[in-house]
Amino acid sequence: MKIRLLSILFLGPLLIILFIQACSSKLTVPTPSTPPLVATNTPSNSPTNTPSTTPAPGSPTNSPTNSPSPSPTLTPTNTPVATITNTPTTTLSPTPTGTWFTSTPTWTGTACRTATPTLTGTAPPTPTYYQNGSLTYSGTGTVDVSHNIFVAGGTPSWIMGLSQMEAGGFEILSSGGSYVLGTLFTGTYQLSAYFDYNGITKSSPFNQNSWLYLYHVPGMRYTTTGACTIPATVATYPVTVTGSAGTTTTGPSLTFDDTCSYWGIFGTAAYTGSRGTLGLCRHVFIAAYSDAAYTTQVYLTGIISNGDTYYFVTNDGGSNTGLTPLYLRAWFDANGDYVFDTGDPYLNLGSLTPTTNGLLQNISFGDTYIQ
Number of H helices, E strands in the chain: 1, 22
The count of residues in the chain is 371
Q: What is the pLDDT of residue 332?
A: 97
Q: Give dist(CA 200, CA 261) in Å, integer.
A: 14
Answer left, alpha or beta for residue 177, where phi above 0 means left and psi between -120 and 50 means alpha: left
126 with 251, same domain: the answer is: yes
Q: What is the pLDDT of residue 368?
A: 97
In which element (H, E) is residue 8 found? helix 2-26
pLDDT digits (tens, 9 = 90+) for 308-340: 999 999 999 788 999 999 999 999 999 888 899
CATH code of 357's domain: 2.60.40
DSSP string, 128-174: SEEEEEEEEE-SSSPPSSSS-EEEE-S--EEETTTEEEEE-EEEESS
In a domain, 71, yes or no: no
Domain boundary among 211, 240, 256: 256
In which element (H, E) is residue 5 found? helix 2-26
270 with 249, same domain: the answer is: no
In a domain, 247, yes or no: yes
213 with 288, same domain: the answer is: no
Which residues, including other chains, have CB under 8 Å from residue 247's CB and lie 6 or more apart? 88, 129, 130, 241
pLDDT digits (tens, 9 = 90+) for 222-269: 999 888 999 999 999 999 989 898 889 999 999 999 999 999 999 999
Q: What is the pLDDT of residue 144?
A: 85
Gap between the terminal Cα atoms of the chain: 186
196 with 277, same domain: the answer is: no
In a domain, 233, yes or no: yes
In a domain, 307, yes or no: yes
Domain boundary among 256, 278, 303: 256
228 with 348, same domain: the answer is: no
220 with 285, same domain: the answer is: no
Distances (CA, A) of 143 to 62, 115, 138, 180: 90, 38, 10, 18
143 with 183, same domain: the answer is: yes
What is the domain extent for residue 348? 264-365
In a domain, 157, yes or no: yes
CB-based contact 197:215 (threshold 8 Å) = no
Domain boundary among 233, 256, 279: 256
Q: What is the pLDDT of residue 48?
A: 44
246 with 277, same domain: the answer is: no
SS3 per residue for 9-30: HHHHHHHHHHHHHHHHHHCCCC
128 with 251, same domain: the answer is: yes
Tell me which residues of the chain have a pLDDT lower than 50: 1-8, 19-20, 22-56, 58-61, 63-65, 82-105, 107-111, 113-115, 156-165
CB-based contact 346:365 (threshold 8 Å) = yes
In a domain, 118, yes or no: yes
Q: What is the pLDDT of residue 255?
A: 93
**Cα 24 off chain centre by:** 124
Closest CA to 320 of 254, 233, 246: 233
In a domain, 13, yes or no: no
Q: Give the chain's domain count.
A: 2
